Chain A
């Protein structure tokens, strides 16, 4: 909850007037107490349907410290003719001697169809020059995203929002050709990727990566893309060539050709299963098997991932790997943070996932 707020609003306003109000509010805050300083990390432009502004605001409130330093919400209502705006500058901390109180700015602009042709000229004056800008359009509006790409260094999307996996992957691939893509579907697999990487990090197990013979991913029914990206990651990192998956008995199944120098080509069986019992988006479990019979299964559990290993001449074992669930707001916060980083493994994983979705 913000402890300090400064608010300005105007109906029938202009971008210049909004920008001037932002500057004036900042100067006033600083004059009030020079421990108030504006955060200067990231611009975030969010294009939303106006009726859902509250829901998006709630989601963004949950990201905590990962809040963009300047948030520009473009709230779209088709028939609106006037440009109305509200500016809020808030700090979460009271200024104390020797301690900074960071200010974050939020600008909400209500606009309509008649403003869409000039959207760039409305948004451009509202972002802080020289800061990276992240664009998010949670309700689709691909044409608007295309128009605002010129202002953005990265785009936030959630590929599981698209009902058809292939279209989601194509959309992400197409955007990735023009801008850095932060895909929440990809970030949902981060803890799983970290744990699979860790499980095979000890030297004896690292050698077994080249003998993986099957991968099964269980996922929320609407998170097929997240599962494909997880398998796509394994495929791209381990040099597999996956074939398109086909529906079979309620799952998507297929294979990947793994070029193995010692044994020649060998297929890796791939299986993506919906887990209806999973109530949140993302993955429910990952199972990996090697040609030697070793089996590692990771499942969601209380307080972390539940690991189960068996086969390969080893005794059956089960244990918990501690870790807190990030929740949807944590995933979104991570998405905002990732706009400042670059993950070189996403595009190869996306390409491999795309091959599975043909």
Chain B
């Protein structure tokens, strides 16, 4: 697609015949601008990701990085900070020559995000790079800042004519959270879409950049054996778990304002649900995939206030034992107010009211300081209609369960009934396991490596569209509101345990939470 003033024109360019067969597709020459360039995300994830892309020769032919942050410092000082972050957090030991080549193209602009002078200086640097290159370069603005700055930065980019660029693409990359309520999300979308076109916006949910999540699509849509079973006729329930054994660490400031529901369920876990429940897209283009995901979200009824106690549970961890050590309770964690009502555990039972899934409960749970770190999706099939073996003591017979583990050991396991060796027909469940780690030579790239490359290439498949964000909030917002209106104390669970007893009430019929 040709580009004028930063937006697609609809004129089709001839294909590049040289890209056929290449594993690494070209990325257009780009200047990446990171707002919040000295923050934790930039240091721990973005800069190491950029180094690894450089190491592999995967950056654009011409690539420049501009860091923008409040602190006053010289270009050289910022380069030194980049170098330190890369050395400390990169997944591979840096090659000195590559690191030097990358850092040569790094500049820094100091200032607060609402200062016009910052954007004037930014414009000058962008122009300078283009002068050097002799051609317009794509521009990608990465907002790695607190969400409160998003509208400010976007407004300034619009005001300073930086949202479009003649002859090149301009893209905006936004980190979650996309608002903390539905109203905030809508307001954020409104303010961003007033300046940028949706096709220019790349909302990062880094979960979608993980190989494991992308593998779910391969699992469902490249293997014909599952599709005939993948519906309400054969599936009894779906359970999605994102459990962590650790506490909140030093993130009290963020976490106590967010809580488990906003931190994981509203974004990552609903995205996982979409991957489980979506219809096969016509093609794996950004729009087709996102169209199918948003249909799933729209099929989940918005909870009514009176339904919430029946379909949502929250809790807070108490002191206990985790990993063989004493673990403090949430209220004793550093930086947490002693009267905090923030949930560290959240569980929901959702329904997807469409032809494929009507009546199948989707259980979602997440929590800190649980027994173990695990992220998995368990699909439980309906039991066989008649069990001929039960009279022979086969009490262990259980419905088939397909478990997709995303971490720590990515794989697929299928629970089957098998005969115990011996003279009687006694059945017990066994697992047939496949572990991705045993079957591939390659090391998975970090999620941010994939996402930064995709954003620079303009491929939005792994990014969240505005209607997805709003649909996710439509589901979670009533629960957030109800919980905020309900005074504490919250139900509790011991650190290192399976979670609160109260979560049991969400389960229907014979359903059981899987052991974490």
A residues neighboring B (CB under 8 Å): 37-42, 65-67, 69, 98-100, 102, 191, 193-203, 206-207, 209, 234, 237-238, 302-305, 307, 309, 314-315, 317, 319-325, 336-337, 340-341, 343-346
Contact A322 B57 (CB under 8 A): yes
Contact A304 B18 (CB under 8 A): no
Contact A324 B56 (CB under 8 A): yes
CB distance from B466 to the nearest CB of A (A): 28
Q: Binary interface profile of B, 1-36, with partner A (CB < 8 Å = 1, else 0)?
A: 010000000000110111111111011110000000
Q: B439 at the A/B interface (Cβ < 8 Å)? A: yes
Which residues of the other chain, A, contact B441 by a CB distance below 8 angstroms?
41-42, 65-67, 336-337, 340
CB distance from A243 to the nearest CB of B (A): 21
Which of the candidate stretches B95-103, B217-225, B355-363 sits at the interface with the other chain? B95-103
CB distance from B192 to the nearest CB of A (A): 27
Contact A324 B133 (CB under 8 A): no
Q: How far is the CA of A332 from the CA of B417 in the complex (A)?
A: 44
Q: B59 at the A/B interface (Cβ < 8 Å)? A: yes
Contact A102 B438 (CB under 8 A): yes
Which residues of the other chain, B, contact A39 by a CB distance below 8 angstroms?
437-439
Contact A99 B13 (CB under 8 A): no
Contact B57 A304 (CB under 8 A): yes
Contact B18 A209 (CB under 8 A): yes
- On whether A321 and B132 interact (CB within 8 A), knowing A37-B435, A41-B441, A207-B14, the answer reads no
A interface SS class? mixed
Contact A198 B60 (CB under 8 A): yes
Interface size class on chain B is 35 or more
15 examples of A-B residue contacts, CB within 8 angstroms: A65-B441, A198-B60, A202-B29, A203-B2, A303-B95, A303-B101, A304-B97, A314-B134, A319-B132, A320-B101, A321-B59, A321-B61, A322-B101, A322-B102, A324-B97
Please list the 8 inter-chain residue pairs (A to B) with the smallest Cβ-Cβ separation, ordered nearest first. Answer: A323-B57, A303-B97, A345-B21, A303-B101, A198-B26, A197-B18, A322-B54, A201-B26
Contact A320 B443 (CB under 8 A): no
Which residues of the other chain, A, contact B60 by a CB distance below 8 angstroms?
198
- On whether A206 and B13 interact (CB within 8 A), knowing A40-B439, A42-B441, the answer reads yes
Contact A307 B132 (CB under 8 A): no
Q: How far is the CA of A100 from the CA of B97 in the complex (A)?
A: 34
Contact A100 B21 (CB under 8 A): no
Contact B98 A324 (CB under 8 A): yes
The tally of CB-CB contacts under 8 A between chains A and B is 140
Q: How far is the CA of A197 from the CA of B57 in the complex (A)?
A: 13
CB distance from B212 to the nearest CB of A (A): 14
Q: Binary interface profile of B, 52-82, with partner A (CB < 8 Å = 1, else 0)?
A: 0011110111110000000000000000000
Contact B435 A324 (CB under 8 A): no
Q: How far is the CA of A129 from the CA of B361 in the complex (A)?
A: 41
Select A100's contact among B57, B100, B437, B443, beta carbons within 8 Å.
B437
Q: B187 at the A/B interface (Cβ < 8 Å)? A: no
CB distance from B416 to the nearest CB of A (A): 19
Which residues of the other chain, B, contact A38 by a CB distance below 8 angstroms?
438
**Which of the listed residues A67, A324, A345, A346 has the most CB atoms from chain B within 10 Å of its own CB?**
A324
Q: How far is the CA of A196 from the CA of B135 in the complex (A)?
A: 17
Q: How far is the CA of A325 from the CA of B443 in the complex (A)?
A: 18
Contact A198 B27 (CB under 8 A): yes
**Which of the listed residues B104, B439, B441 has the most CB atoms from chain A within 10 Å of its own CB?**
B441
CB distance from B341 to the nearest CB of A (A): 32
Q: B390 at the A/B interface (Cβ < 8 Å)? A: no
Q: B373 at the A/B interface (Cβ < 8 Å)? A: yes
Q: How far is the CA of A336 from the CA of B441 in the complex (A)?
A: 9
**Which of the listed residues A197, A198, A199, A234 has the most CB atoms from chain B within 10 Å of its own CB?**
A198
Contact B20 A344 (CB under 8 A): yes
- On whether A199 and B61 interact (CB within 8 A), knowing A336-B441, A337-B441, the answer reads yes
Contact A209 B17 (CB under 8 A): yes
**Closest chain B residue to A131 by CB distance?**
B439
- Other contacts beyond A41-B439, A322-B59: 10, CB < 8 A: A38-B438, A206-B14, A237-B17, A238-B18, A304-B97, A319-B62, A320-B101, A324-B98, A337-B442, A340-B441
